[in-house]
Amino acid sequence: MARRDLIDIDRIFHEAAVADYPRGREVFSRFPNAERIEVPSHWNIPALHGNEGSVEDWLHIKRSTLVLGVKKGLSMRPNGRSAHFIAPSTSNGCAMACAYCYVPRRKGFSNPISLFVNVDAVGAAITRHAAKQGSLPEPDQIDEAAWVYDLGENGDLSVDAMICDNVRDLVALFRGLPNAKGSFATKAVNRDLLAYDPQGRTRIRFSLMPARIARVVDVRTAPMPERIAAIDDFLAAGYEVHVNFSPVILYEGWEADWAALFDEIDGTISQAAKAQLKCEIIMLTHNAGLHDVNLGWHPKAEDLLWRPDIQEAKRSEGGGDNLRYRTGWKGKWLTRFKALLAERMPYCRVRYAF
Binding flag, residue 96, ligand SF4 (CB under 6 A): yes
Binding flag, residue 101, ligand SF4 (CB under 6 A): yes
Binding flag, residue 156, ligand SF4 (CB under 6 A): yes
Binding flag, residue 97, ligand SF4 (CB under 6 A): yes
Binding piece for ligand SF4, criterion CB under 6 A, among 96-104, 262-270, 282-290, 330-338: 96-104
DSSP designation for 195: G
Shortest approach of ligand SF4 to residue 9 CB, angstroms? 17
Q: How many other CB atoms sit within 10 Å of the CB of residue 98?
A: 20
For residue 68, list its beta bridge partners.
14, 115
Residue in 14, 181, 187, 201 binding ligand SF4, rule: CB under 6 A: 187
Binding flag, residue 103, ligand SF4 (CB under 6 A): yes
Residue in 45, 94, 180, 323 binding ligand SF4, rule: CB under 6 A: 94
How would you class 232 by CB atoms within 10 Å of its CB: exposed for 0-12, middle for 13-18, buried for 19 or more?
Answer: middle
> From CA 160, how far away is CA 171, in angstroms rounded?
13
Binding flag, residue 98, ligand SF4 (CB under 6 A): yes
Residue 325, SS3? strand
Select 130 or 209, whichever has its Cβ closest to ligand SF4.
209
Q: In sequence order, what are the residues at sequence separation of 6 or more whose Cβ sits closer than 8 angstroms to the Cβ of residue 183?
A: 82, 83, 148, 149, 150, 151, 202, 203, 204, 205
Binding flag, residue 37, ligand SF4 (CB under 6 A): no
How would you class 102 by CB atoms within 10 Å of its CB: exposed for 0-12, middle for 13-18, buried for 19 or more?
Answer: middle
Select 6 or 68, whichever has its Cβ closest to ligand SF4.
6
Write out the residues near ligand SF4 by the rule CB under 6 A: 94, 96-98, 101, 103, 155-156, 187, 221
